[in-house]
Homo-oligomer: A and B are copies of this chain.
Amino acid sequence: MPRRSDAKNKMIKTALLLFREKGYHGVGLAEILEQSGAPKGSFYHHFPGGKQELALAVLDAANRFMLRLIDNAFENAGTVEAAVDAVIDDIVELAASEKFSLGCPVTSFSVELTREDGEIRKRADTVLRGWVQRMVEQLEPFSPDQDELKRYTEVFRAVLTTIEGGWIVSQIQKSAEPLLIAKQVFRSMDKLQ
């Protein structure tokens, strides 16, 4: 059963950009369909669960993108510091190319749905934890001992948190500086102890 249409992917890609800019509730299905060029009548064929199912698909696409970004950064770096710097630099480059108008591909719209204890929040939680875990996994070939890995887990958690905050503040201030703070955070936590 091969795919005969790329309408679904076009909708997901477009929704990702729009959600990151205006949030989940800030984007209507009409805008997504129009901007993606996808046929209007096919939305509920591809997403029987409606807008929420689309958001879940968007979350998965965003997750794949960020995991690729992490893998790429760690594989092309010789040290942990260089890898973390690369992750942050890549994000800064992305954010700057988007004129600091688009937020984190995951938190920017999932955060609006944190009361209702629904699928979107849970998956966003899993995704965020996965990023930390992936960074730790990328560190294992460098074979630090288990205690060191545990310590880096904490450090990566802090870096990720700072990146999330930096991404938002970058949107507000239209500047790369807040995102770059995550580098300082890593350095100070890495050198210390």
Interface residues of A (CB under 8 A from B): 21-26, 100-101, 103, 107-108, 110-112, 114-115, 121, 124-125, 128, 154, 157-158, 160-169, 171-174, 178, 181-182, 184-185, 188-189, 191-192
Other A-B contacts than A22-B115, A25-B25, A161-B182, 14 sampled, CB-CB below 8 A, are A22-B25, A23-B25, A101-B115, A124-B172, A128-B173, A157-B181, A160-B165, A160-B169, A162-B162, A165-B165, A185-B188, A188-B189, A191-B192, A192-B192
User: Taking the nearest CB of chain B, how far is it from the CB of A132, in angstroms?
Assistant: 11
Q: Do the beta carbons of B128 and A101 come within 8 Å of each other?
A: no
- Per the bound structure, the CA–CA distance linking A167 and B188 in Å amounts to 21
Q: Once bound together, how far apart are the Cα atoms of A168 and B124, in whole Å?
A: 11
Instruction: Count copies of this chain in the complex.
Output: 2
Closest B residue, CB atoms, query A182: B161
Chain B residues whose CB sits within 8 angstroms of the CB of A168 once the complex forms? 107, 111, 164-165, 168
Contact indicator B111/A171 (Cβ below 8 Å): yes
Assess the B173–A158 pair: CB atoms within 8 A.
no
What B residues does A162 contact at CB under 8 A?
Answer: 158, 161-162, 165, 185
The complex places the Cα of A186 from the Cα of B39 at a distance, in Å, of 51
Nearest chain B CB to A86 CB, angstrom units = 19
Closest B residue by C-beta to A100: B114
User: Which residues from B are CB-within-8-Å of A100?
Assistant: 114
Query: What are 12 pairs between A and B in contact, CB < 8 Å?
Result: A22-B115, A100-B114, A103-B111, A157-B178, A157-B181, A158-B181, A158-B184, A162-B185, A164-B164, A164-B168, A165-B166, A185-B189
Residues of B within 8 A of A182 (CB): 161
